[in-house]
Chains A and B, each alone.
Chain A
């Protein structure tokens, strides 16, 4: 304790994760070697989930780390930092994380929607934090950078268009022949 202040650090975040309501990993990113192997990471996530999925607390001291969390329907969002880290910084990251995902999923933050948009979710996580340094803390900026086609054609129609297109192509080819 009296070893003095720790070296000033701008690597605020140790890990971010999204777990489902069984504690399974949807997405997890570790930015340092606190948990070097996949096994240790999953173990940590399981324990963390068990501690947090019932308590509605937002923040917990866990295994010597500070974890802030937020849940909705069947998803749990976590941001993990050192036990000395400024909790409010972690909370700001969590908010950016959650809000950007929420915007991407059009406020429909649940597992099914998340899995349907997993590509965009991966990209958002990548834009949030790079190697432990917070890259962007404004959710709108994150969403903008993910550049998701917000005016996406619904899936059904899209396949229709595709079918039509290929039919057209085939007719064209057969005519050319």
Chain B
């Protein structure tokens, strides 16, 4: 009666789970009663089950408690109850990792492994969990016998345990190769599979033996064996770089006709993953997968689509045949299948199917989760760049999605997709901007609204009818929160600065904003009104259209420094390091569906790289008073990477000096290098003024040595080549302890030449509105020249080289040449050492003899113009 009541109470609490709320200590306490005689199998079984349950729930059991319970458990070997015995084995396996002296049960287990049939397999597995390498000798023979046992349960248990005993140790598992060979042709499928596993594990580094193992083409009984065999064969083909003509490939292909779906799929998967496959080799695999697509089993459909998705990355054409089947899967009840089907289709879709695909997607967009929608948007984004001509359909679709319900991440993805399409495809610009305008009318996300307003300010003024955007922007000033209002004010100012005929009205609008309730909005409005009223092109370009271009961290540091030391002089903006263009231009669009994971963080690191160097150099007392660091180059290898000493060079440009930083790594473990310097043979006009040695350079600990070079006084002489030699004192040392000899000897090591180029003297700066900057600098120091670049065969190649030589930032996406054009204009902007603005316009034309270039340079300093104009020559 009492127990009944308790049961009821438990039922309420734990949903009828008698194990609910088991106390670890109570169970362990109870485990002690396992010692009691006579043994009650049922009661002990229950206790053991509880124990196993709490272990399985992830409870942490201390070593002492575990050991106690373990010893109590060993007493249960006296009972011959089969279930109890099996639970004991399980208990032993679980406890073997936490309890001490588990080896004590070895003899009991050894007895069982030779005893009753039903105990033998589990006993072997339990035994192997308590055995360590010292005992291997004594159990080897028994294991051999067990492997060859006619009971499949025993043989399988022994084979698998042998593999676990090895835990990757080749030597240990090798002992059982002969036994495994003997049972590899077993009647029992599982034994056959386990024997194959063991053989593969032992032979996996022996290519010839593996080849033999696989090419013994025989019939297997277990589909698992086939799968493993296919994997081995595929790996061998890849390692040999063999193509489809190898006999291994024939084996894999023959598996496509196996009766088990598991094997067919494994073979298909293996074929599509091979590297050197032709469309013909792929065809049978793809058609098998295509069949699977219409299977009633979700797992099969999933497997097929997942693999087709992979094929689509490398061979989109091969998958096109399955497009119809894939389209049917878009509406699959299983979301994972539908997602994969969509992303595959978006990869393989051709221009003509875009419309149909969009229609299909839109029919179920409302039914799916945001997460999935984002995947779809990413797919559309890649379609946009693939088929720029289809922008109309795609844009309309995106706009539709923008209007629908959705979370922030989803909306953000769409907005980014539209923005990137606008930037890549000028034809899509107007439609895209119109959609975005409509979106901000009803946008609850401040971040997105400000982002779009900023974009409108940048792109809007340059459209044929800028006036139509102003209404949208000004509406924001009336209706939104302060952050959006401020962004809107900036955007309006940009219209005013760029379009003369709109200036009057913009000033009126901005004057109204001066009455805003928010400080920031009022400040911005006042500032812009005053700048605009000056009506000077250079002024509006510098303060409205192109803004500040200094590094924020650098500005903060410089201002802090300035306030610390009160001086009469004004704060010099030019002393602030420039914002380095984050080197993320070549941002790799991650393949949709491959899950966006490693995208961010990169930009941040690139932006602060220079700040890191600045800090680092400031630590070296000899280099501390060179002024602000203007530019640091990328690390350049001056040795081969596999040599004794591995050295990279970074060039730091200051206003009058260049610091060469050599990061050295000593890869010889029997040498200690001391007093390491790099001796530089200066080019004409340059003068080595100091070199700071690296005091000692032990094995594998990077160290830096610096060489300080004074730049030539002649301002147009900026380039040169330096021959470098590494000089150092070698002390031999003990490779183990690193203890060096007392005596050393001088040695040197010739490094590759280091070149100083024009690019080292300029810093890239992005001018969002190049034309305005061009006018701002003015024609005063303009230089123009025409070059014929006969070695270049395409515009892209020419552009790449020009950017590399001059080292300026391409603006307004002018580094991308629209397809099929034979002429192009490249805009480059930056700042020359000393803070002089530098702008380059290169008009390029392609003809039969190569590329002809008309280069125009404008700068605030005549010398700079000269240097840049000659950089390409």
Contact = CB atoms under 8 A, between A and B. Distances in A.
Nearest to B153: A145
Interface residues of B, number: 76
Nearest to A21: B15
B49 interface: yes
Say what secondary structure dominates the interface of chain A. mixed
Contact of B45 (A38, A39, A119, A130): A119
Interface in B229-259: 231-232, 234-235, 238
Given A133-B197, A137-B224, A55 B313 contact: no
B90 A126 contact: yes
B86 A147 contact: yes
Interface string B414-443: 000000000000000000000000000000
Interface stretch (B140-148, B328-336, B662-670): B328-336
Given A55-B335, A131-B160, A86 B266 contact: yes
A10 B82 CA distance: 31
Interface in B181-224: 190, 193-194, 196-197, 200-201, 204, 223-224
B235 A86 contact: no
User: Interface size class for chain A?
Assistant: 35 or more
Contacts of A115: 16-19
B58 interface: yes
A7 to B, nearest CB: 7
A9 interface: yes
A38 B310 CA distance: 34
Contacts of B153: 136, 141, 145
A120 B334 contact: no
Interface stretch (B299-307, B650-658, B737-745): B299-307
B231 A58 contact: no
Interface in A8-44: 8-10, 12, 20, 22, 25, 27-29, 38-39, 41-42
B57 A60 contact: no
Say what secondary structure dominates the interface of chain B. helix
A101 interface: no
A145 B121 contact: yes
B269 interface: yes
Given A57-B335, A135-B190, A86 B160 contact: no
Interface string B158-172: 001101100000000
A72 interface: no
Contacts of B754: none
B83 A120 contact: yes
A80 interface: no
B86 A91 contact: no
A167 interface: no
A5 B238 contact: yes
B27 to A, nearest CB: 13
B17 A111 contact: yes
Given A136-B190, A147-B82, A118 B19 contact: yes
Contacts of B200: 8, 10
Contacts of B302: 58-59, 87
Interface of B: 15-19, 42, 45-46, 48-49, 52-53, 56-60, 82-83, 86-87, 90, 93, 118, 121-122, 125, 153, 156-157, 160-161, 163-164, 190, 193-194, 196-197, 200-201, 204, 223-224, 227-228, 231-232, 234-235, 238, 261-262, 265-266, 269-270, 273-275, 297-300, 302-303, 306, 310, 313, 333-337, 340, 595
| 5 shortest interchain CB distances as A-B pairs | A38-B58, A8-B231, A57-B334, A88-B262, A87-B303
